[in-house]
Amino acid sequence: MAENFSCSHKNGGDGNHGRACVTLVPIFNHLTTEQMDEIMEVVRTRSYKKGELIYRAEEPSNALYIVNRGQVKMYRLAESGKEQLVRLLSPGDFTGELALFKQSVHEAYAEAVVDSEICQIRSDDLQGLLVQYPTISLKILTEFSRRLETSEKQTTSIATEKVETRIALFLAECVTEENVNEAAIELPMSRKDLASYLGTTPETMSRKLTEFEEAGLIEQGGQRKLYLLDIDQLLFI
Amino acid sequence: MAENFSCSHKNGGDGNHGRACVTLVPIFNHLTTEQMDEIMEVVRTRSYKKGELIYRAEEPSNALYIVNRGQVKMYRLAESGKEQLVRLLSPGDFTGELALFKQSVHEAYAEAVVDSEICQIRSDDLQGLLVQYPTISLKILTEFSRRLETSEKQTTSIATEKVETRIALFLAECVTEENVNEAAIELPMSRKDLASYLGTTPETMSRKLTEFEEAGLIEQGGQRKLYLLDIDQLLFI
DNA sequence: CGCGGGGTTGAACATTCTCAAGAACTGTGG
DNA sequence: CCACAGTTCTTGAGAATGTTCAACCCCGCG
């Protein structure tokens, strides 16, 4: 009983697709209800348990995946066998990569971090939609360029900054409008995953955070909670 | 006398745009002559001397740049002040990044490695073309996804492999159909730039290459020429 | 209450960087 | 064709940075 179609265009029946499948919004929110209906025809949704793989590297890749609920982590396996977390997908984020535009295989693994719900559109279907609604391409293009931007920044950061700095930069990026005053941030992932993302080890993460705390720059409050006491000084390191 | 319009739709007059501006081909080769004419209306070409900057980080970004002749390197400046080579553009390659889809500033520097000729299309003009010719979006999307792919691979490589391995992987990638038998490869950039690209220093590059040579895996022949004597062993390191 | 995963800590070790000096190459002008 | 200046590249030695491995802790959960 692996499949669970919860994101069909038939559900609800109130015609409000925004509510029926809230996370398609970032890509499709500029379309009319009729157009959404057409898109919903080809959307399939499936649930994944925590730890379950949505796809593996080397598998043929032929669909666009959109996170509807939960959280997904994508990681690569290096020659050395070490894995590196490439990106974290939250509701509304999508993946499928170049899968969409050329026949290919996945380069990374996609794994549900918690129980999740993923919407899926097959490449064949998407191709048609893209030609029909050029604005969708623009949306995806924008997302891709944003992601490329992030990835290159990440590369530069790992290539040129020391671990300490990378961690500090990451913490600073966790500050949003909501918590700017509190300076209380919630880490978006475990320290282990964070280490993998930042190209270091859990041990080093732990040590550096402790150093920051001893220097009075931050305060660690439980599992994933942190208080940034002196952001300026933190970034000055 | 900085500007030099050599890529106008008026030149040649033989109607063969493929020859008149060969490097627009990768993006526009599926269009008819009439459509090319329209595009050429908004294309502007300029020459750059070796070492000259096409644009700087932080400058407002509002155009697509296509390398017509020469070579361009893009690099980022990290907080630490170190620079990292992000990508090398050869004729036919383009850049302009997210510049195209949101008003923004450049994140990197673009510098002519040798005397070069760059075609330029302003964002405003391109937006129109994209909506008019959805297939162009697909071309750009494909290129973006390919680039994203490369960038994430690069991140993982730098984050998880040791320098030795990164260099070996890079050398192996330099093998194309042409030189697969010879195993004689031409480095696409200086050792200095290569070091920057691979997230290491020229000193370490030099040492590792010497080690490879002493181990009988490669042979260094002058400036940028290398002979891969035992690729399998090289990648096994 | 024991199990297991994440997290922390310590000490030894490996890798890579830094700085400094010298060698080789490139292109330029005589 | 050669000498020179300016790079780029190489080599060495010491120092910094981060990893590894092993032990331990802590907490949530069956």
A and B: number of Cβ contacts within 8 A: 146
| Contact yes or no for B70/B114 (Cβ under 8 A) | yes
Query: Is the model's pTM score more than 0.75?
Result: yes
Q: What gap in Å lies between CA A54 and CA A89, rounded to an integer?
A: 12
Among B residues 157-196, those touching chain A with beta carbons less than 8 Å apart: 157-162, 165, 169
Write down the pLDDT at residue A24: 64
Q: Which residues contact A169 (CB under 8 A, 6 or more apart)?
A: A157, A161, A235, B79
Distance A208 CA to D20 C1' (A): 17
* Chain A interface mutation, best of B155, B170, B204, B232, highest count of A Cβ atoms under 10 Å: B155
Q: Which two tokens stand for residue B214?
A: 């002493």
Average pLDDT value for chain B? 83
Q: Using one digit for the tens of pLDDT, what is the confidence trace for B164-174?
A: 999 999 999 98
Cα A234 off chain centre by: 26
- Amino acid letter at A73? K
| Contact yes or no for B189/B113 (Cβ under 8 A) | yes
**Cα first-last separation, chain A:** 52
Write down the pLDDT at residue B120: 92
Q: Using one digit for the tens of pLDDT, what is the confidence trace for B24-54?
A: 666 776 777 887 888 888 899 999 988 899 9
Write down the pLDDT at residue A56: 92
Nucleotide nearest to A82 (CA to C1'): D19
Shortest alpha-carbon distance between residue A81 and chain B (Å): 9
Left (φ > 0), alpha (ψ -120 to 50) or beta: where does B209 sit?
Answer: alpha
Q: Which residues pair with A184 in a beta bridge?
A: A227
DSSP class of A100: G
* CA angle A40–A46–A52, rounded 5-degree value: 150
Coil, helix or strand at residue B90: coil
Q: Using one digit for the tens of pLDDT, what is the confidence trace for B195-225?
A: 999 999 999 999 999 999 999 999 998 778 8
Q: What gap in Å lies between CA A136 and CA A233, rounded to an integer?
A: 43
DSSP class of B22: G
Flag if A137 and B142 touch (Cβ within 8 Å).
no
Q: Which of A26-30, A69-73, A119-123, B13-17 has the lowest mean pLDDT?
A: B13-17
Query: Which residues in B lie closer than 8 A to residue A151 (C-beta atoms)?
Result: 148, 151-152, 155
Residue B184 has pLDDT above 60, yes or no: yes
